[in-house]
Amino acid sequence: MTELHQKVQNWLNQDPDFETKSELQNLFNQAQSGNTDAEKELAMRFDGRLQFGTAGLRGRLQAGSMGMNRVLVAQAAKGLANYLLVNDKEPSIVIGYDGRKNSKIFAQDTAEIMAGAGVKALLMPRLLPTPVLAYAIRHFDATAGVMVTASHNPPDDNGYKVYLGKNNGGGQIVSPADKEIAQQIDLATQINIDEYARSQNYQILDETVINQYIEKTAKLAIEPKCELNYVYTAMHGVGKEILLKTLQAAHLPLPHIVAEQAEPDPTFHTVAFPNPEEKGALDLAIELAKAQNAEFIIANDPDADRLAVAIPDEQGNWKPLHGNVVGCLLAWYVAQRAKKSGKTGTLACSLVSSPALEQIAQKYGFHNEETLTGFKYIAKVPNLVFGFEEALGYLVDPDKVSDKDGISAVIMFLDLVRSLKATGKTIQQHIADFTQEFGAYASSQISLRVKDLADIPKLMDAFRQNPPTQIGENKIVQSKDYLQGTEPNNILVYALDNGSRLIVRPSGTEPKIKVYLDVKGNDAIDAMRVLEKFDGAVRELLRSEQFGKQDC
């Protein structure tokens, strides 16, 4: 038997999942019968291991060491349990899960393995948003947390997001914890998972922690009551129940709900990608908004840690607001509220987010900090008042959670709208006021989705080995490679002579490279003109021979 076939047989011997075991056995039988396509598929399935990193685990639901499945999750749980036992005399963990396929069984497997290893395990009572899990970690002063979710990834994916609590603050793992946990997982793989100790001696939590999250989040609403006519979509995720309960607790008007996307559905059948940023994802919400003559649309992603907003223009055409726009509007509003209450501290965003945040911080006497990408870094900023990243992530209540929170962000955004209504202004007018106050910034993003993950390092290498000196008519005057920094990160930043900025980085959660464009103009129209020209020049560069003729 070949080494590959031995790996497959060993996997089959320990897989407790009938579906993945049957599918892999069928593939194995075909390969053994001489089917070369089946042999190639097996080789891909076992070509290494789905890597555990600062985003935990995330990948396609399928059998094999390169997929998300019960064997891989059990190994991750065992490795994480061993890590917690090394680092805490009395370790504890809170485990949550969303509505994706296998999320609940992955969470239950984790609870049983944790309890069997001697880690106090607390399992959420049902599928819930990621922010509720993040809150529970701090509420129980747990050593760690796990959220089984693939957030806004395609339907066939799932993931395993790890948090560290107590002295680590309750946020997502950062280096070196990711490497140390990965080492423990590697050791755990040397034993078949059916040899791991398991126990039913874990606690299923009641509604108390959920109700406390709702109660604390509802207190964010402080503006005068008024009518609001708006639409909400849960994007087939888990946001609706907790959001509606929070709105009721805050005495806020309830939205018109997109019925087709209201309940958890692991097939996400109405959208190509369950991500509010993706083209077409808000089509049903826009249709309902037009029918109800709504003022705006809000959307959560499937695990409800992100918020998207859409508004109509003067011609009645609906468009989503860029994450930088929503982030800066919330930052402005939070800074005003914090200033009134005598609060001091820091406004923070990831380096791929809008540079306009620095202007807001300066105006209101706050510190400003730019972090590496991801809320694992933003949430760790000392004395944080507000944090955001352009990918629709906002932390409006750092005293409650150490991660982006799409439910709290909805409440704060609705309060912002109520404050505008008190002065007779619309969201559109407020955006114009922002430009007058802080300058005309504009941002966009180009996503290069790949079929082969090997294409990602190839493109990043192309930028490093033959760096561009000019984009369109503008010269690059400064560049920075974050792989050369004290905390190496695969990010490239280019500053142009007209003040524009280009950032290139691989996505931490999806098979794609993200290209970020930021510009500043004399006014809103000029900024959009500069951005459009910059976007065209960047796409032309990416389509060149130098960068592999990218399809963009």
468-527: pLDDT as tens digits: 999 999 999 999 999 987 778 899 999 999 999 999 999 876 778 999 999 999 998 999
Q: List C-alpha distances in Å: 160 to 55, 96, 270, 483.
A: 8, 10, 25, 26
Q: What is the DSSP string of 97-134?
A: E-SSTTHHHHHHHHHHHHHHHT-EEEE-SS---HHHHH
135-160: pLDDT as tens digits: 999 999 999 999 999 999 899 999 99
Average pLDDT, the chain: 94
Give buried/exposed letters for 222-254 (b at 16+ CB in 10 A, else e): ebeeeebebbbbbbbbbbbbbbbbbbebbebee
Superfamily of the domain at 210-348+357-422: Alpha-D-Glucose-1,6-Bisphosphate, subunit A, domain 3 (3.40.120.10)
Mean pLDDT of 520-541: 93
Q: Looking at the domain that runs over 440-547, which CATH code has it been given?
A: 3.30.310.50
Instruction: Supply the pLDDT for residue 453.
Output: 72
Residue 12 pLDDT > 70, yes or no?
A: yes
State the pTM of this model. Answer: 0.93
Whether 49-206 and 440-547 share one fold: the answer is no
Residues above pLDDT 70, as percent of the chain? 100
Question: How would you class 426 by CB atoms within 10 Å of its CB: exposed for 0-12, middle for 13-18, buried for 19 or more?
Answer: middle
- The domain 49-206 is classified under which CATH number: 3.40.120.10, 2.40.160.60, 3.40.720.10, 3.40.50.150? 3.40.120.10
For residue 416, give the 3-state DSSP assignment.
helix
Residue 131 pLDDT > 90, yes or no?
A: yes
- The CA-based dihedral angle spanning residues 537, 542, 544, 550, taken in that order and rounded to the nearest 10 degrees: -140
Instruction: Supply the pLDDT for residue 150.
Output: 94
Distance from the first to the final alpha carbon of the chain = 44
β-partners of residue 476 are: 496
At 219, which amino acid appears?
Answer: K
Report domain extents, the chain.
1-47, 49-206, 210-348+357-422, 440-547
Q: Which residue has the higher pLDDT, 419 or 449?
A: 419
257-303: pLDDT as tens digits: 999 999 999 999 999 889 999 989 999 999 999 999 999 999 999 99
Q: How far apart are CA 78 and CA 197, in angstroms?
A: 9
Q: List C-alpha distances in Å: 419 to 228, 254, 388.
A: 12, 17, 21
Q: List C-alpha distances in Å: 157 to 100, 224, 266, 276, 321.
A: 8, 42, 10, 17, 27
* Helix spans in 298-366 (H): 323-340, 356-364
Residue 403 pLDDT > 90, yes or no?
A: yes
| 323-340 and 356-364 helices, crossing angle to 10° | 10
At 124, the pLDDT band (50, 70, 90 cuts) reads very high
Q: How far apart are CA 357 and CA 355, in angstroms?
A: 5
From 65, 151, 354, 419, the catalytic residue: 151
Which contiguous run of DSSP H or E holds residue 23?
helix 18-32
Q: Is 447 an annotated catalytic residue?
A: no
Residue 54 pLDDT > 70, yes or no?
A: no
φ, ψ for residue 309 (rounded to 5)? -130, 140
φ, ψ for residue 55 (rounded to 5)? -100, 10
Tokens of 528: 């959009």
Mean pLDDT of 53-77: 93
427-467: pLDDT as tens digits: 999 999 999 999 999 999 998 887 777 788 888 998 999 89
φ, ψ for residue 473 (rounded to 5)? -90, -5
**Of the candidates 79, 30, 293, which has an alpha carbon nearest to the alpha carbon of residue 181?**
79
